Amino acid sequence: MIRKYNVEGMHCAACSSSVETVTKRVKGVKKASVSLLQKLLLVECSEKTNDEDIFNAIKKAGFSATRIDSDKEIKNQNQPKEIDGKKREKILIIKMIATLVITLVIMYFSMGHMIKLPQPHVFMYMVDGKMQATSILMLFLFILTIIGIYLNKQFYINGYRALFLGHPNMDTLVALGSSASLIYGTFSLFMLLAGIEHNNQELINTYSQNLYFDSAVMILLFVSFGKFLEEKSKNRTTEAIESLKKLAPQKANRLVDGKIEEVDIDQLRIGDIVVVKTGESVPIDGEVIEGFCSIDESMLTGESYPKDKEIHDKCMQATICLDGTAKIKVEKIGKETIFSQIIDTLTTTGATKAPIARIADTIAKYFVPIVCGISLVTLIIWLSLGKTFDFALSNAIAVLVISCPCALGLATPVAITVSTGVLAKKGVLIKDAKDLEYFKDINTFVFDKTGTLTNGNLEVTEEKADQLEEFKTLIYNLELGNNHPLAKAIVNKHKDENIKLVNFAEYTIIKGRGVVAKLNEDTLILGNEKLIEENGLDISKNKDEIKRYQEEGKTIVYLAKNNQYLGFCALADTINESAKQCIEELQKQGKRIVMISGDNEIVAKKIGKDLNINSNDIYANVLPVEKATIIEKLQKEGKVAFVGDGINDSVALKQADIGISVSGGSSIAQDSSDIVLMNPSLKSILDTLMVSKKTVLNIKENLFWALIYNTLCIPIAAGVLYPINFLFNPMIGAACMSVSSIFVVLNALRLNLLNKKEKTQNGKNCSYRHDVQ
């Protein structure tokens, strides 16, 4: 069985990781996954599993949990008593600015004298021609460091909590790195104070350059900036889900005893009759029992054409009535409607998405305890060999300082930061580092049809008539006063052709059929096949052409004058120019291409054929919730990316391993996705794939260097070469640590070279390079 819990106190990925880990250890729990955005914990467990055991385990990890059993409780639980996201975002900014100021002050007084910056006499004095720090300055820097650490204590809390729970992560690395600098800085401070107290110049000279308080705070400053960006992104996504909920109408026009009364949708019951008019949203899922209306379902189905609804046709909540009036019998209410299912799935999918373990986190799981163990063993061995405690402690701390995991901690985030900047300049927005890291592993790319592979707007593609100029004049004037999407497409086709305007003596719009008008003594009919058949008109002249266009999924509009057929025009949603090249290049790289559409099978198959997509990988007549089901099925065969643009794609975007929203898409789709394409070209997907490959290679190079560095330097720092009078003191260790970090940063900066788009010219075709150099 699946249980839901609301968890309070989580602020970052490390928190959610801790909750998952402790929950999985509870007896009877098979799986546990957390949605940080919704503060939601999903637990797959046996019926005998005790909630109190889960509550206690989570409480010991530093959080609190509440069981969710009903819609009412869900609503209450999604309003935690703790500080909300916006306030937390402001607090993070304040802490970050304060930490920056503290870091700059510490750096100024620690290293300013090296470049002849003026120093107060109370902080510095001259000894043998060299500037010497006073005890007041040392204590001042120590106090500033403690304040900086206190402002960012969450890294220590989360990092060491994860360590004690047995799953050290990136926060543990940050906390350990900062702690190592603080510990040795504090040790040096006491030794310096002792030297000053006893006027021991040798002791003063030895430790005067070993106050690493600036490193202790600077590590926290850089990481806190990343946490701020994470919080900002998290808040935007949460707000997007709330804005989606607001699209559902809150009121409905209920028909009672022949009278219409406005009621809250919560008051509607199955079997009630509601009236929907032009411009209104459908309040529930139901069946038309009287009247006619043209419904825009693109938000839910993605289909570009509005649907004409007559008696016995189904309507869905939150779709828009473009034209007409209909009475609808309520069939589904509350969480049973398709729209509510989208909301529910969107809320919980974040928790059910398979977690991807970071490389650095995996290394940290073993690296951190091993380093701590080596440091402790170093202390014990030197003491057992009769060395002084000062000597033994110096070597033990040297191990911590030289193995301070700054390079390891920087290996991934610096490369990711540079790469996301590169992609931003290419018009690609990456919301989470893991999505860039693992984008290269995608096996299957699933594309929504309407608005993604196609432009999402109807266009006139063909016009056929013996008297073409007369045909254009008549259809333009007939559709000029019509708000139907087909009419707008025809008007847009000819609006710049200076067509002569005419005045109709009579003009009637026939719902779901077309237009009938009177021009002088002529009767004009413009509409669909039903209207033509009802008037007994003969269209056999263009029968073969019309049949071919219909088989291609195009919509046909016919024109007749005085019961004589004049001609027709065909309309269709056209293919995005960049789609064909994008799909072709992805197929060359061995990627599987799948197309999903809410449109009918004829249209979907035609678009798929034009884009050379395997017919077995084309899904038509698909509802939003069904899109997520198809993706879930494909995920059993490998990693899946979904590319879409509409509200109806939001669930699928969340379900996929990586969701990609395209330029011009709905704000809900963009906020539900992991990657946002800021320009209309789908070729940006190829840019992202190339940068992903290069980035992961760069990260592996950085991690290799960091590990090799530690493998070689830690034994030396522990004193292995002491018998030949070679010993690393903590100052040299810190220098080596800095060199390692600098190497990692410089190597990551090489990714900036990717700003030049990598294309090679092959004959007349421009092909993206997808090899990893």
Active site positions, annotated: 448
The secondary element (H helix, E strand) that includes residue 454 is strand 454-465
Closest alpha carbon to 369 in 174, 167, 156, 153? 167
Reported as half-sphere exposure (CB side, CA atoms, 13 A), residue 384 has a value of: 6
C-alpha span between 285 and 291 (Å, rounded):
16
Contact call for residues 656 and 631 (beta carbons, < 8 A): yes
DSSP code per residue over 180-225: HHHHHHHHHHHHHHHHHHTT-HHHHHHHTT---HHHHHHHHHHHHH
Amino acid at 504: F
Give the Å distances, CA to CA, from 287 to 41, 59, 313, 315, 600.
37, 49, 6, 6, 21
**Residues 6 or more apart in contact with residue 599 via CB below 8 angstroms:** 301, 302, 303, 304, 305, 449, 450, 553, 620, 621
C-alpha span between 639 and 159 (Å, rounded):
30
**Residues 6 or more apart in contact with residue 635 via CB below 8 angstroms:** 656, 657
DSSP code per residue over 565-586: EEEEEEEEEEEPTTHHHHHHHH
Contact call for residues 22 and 7 (beta carbons, < 8 A): no
C-alpha span between 342 and 652 (Å, rounded):
10
- Which segments of 306-390 are extended strands (E)? 307-309, 314-315, 320-332
Give the β-pairing of 285-296 and 675-677.
unpaired
Backbone angles phi, psi at 619, to 5 degrees: -115, 125
Closest alpha carbon to 624 in 612, 642, 636, 640? 642
Indicate the burial class of 727 (C-beta count within 10 angstroms; 0-12, 13-18, 19 or more): middle
Region of 224 (left: φ > 0; alpha: ψ -120 to 50; beta: rest) is alpha
Task: Please calculate the CA angle 559-561-567 and round it to the nearest 5 degrees.
Answer: 35
**Residues 6 or more apart in contact with residue 509 via CB below 8 angstroms:** 482, 515
Q: Please, where are the H alpha helices in 432-509?
A: 433-438, 468-479, 485-494
Give bridge partners of residue 68 from the DSSP assignment: 4
Place of tokens 């704000």: 667
Backbone angles phi, psi at 47, to 5 degrees: -65, -25
Reported as half-sphere exposure (CB side, CA atoms, 13 A), residue 572 has a value of: 21
**Residues 6 or more apart in contact with residue 55 via CB below 8 angstroms:** 64, 65
Spacing of C-alpha 3 from chain mean position: 25
Place of tokens 């086709």: 493
**Residues 6 or more apart in contact with residue 95 via CB below 8 angstroms:** 151, 152, 224
Tokens of 665: 């898409």
| CA-based radius of gyration for the chain | 34
For residue 755, count other CB atoms closer than 10 A to its CB.
Answer: 12
- Which segments of 513-634 are extended strands (E)? 514-519, 522-527, 555-561, 564-575, 592-596, 618-619
Tokens of 165: 């729970």
Tokens of 346: 């969107």
Helix (H/G/I), strand (E/B), else coil: 496? coil
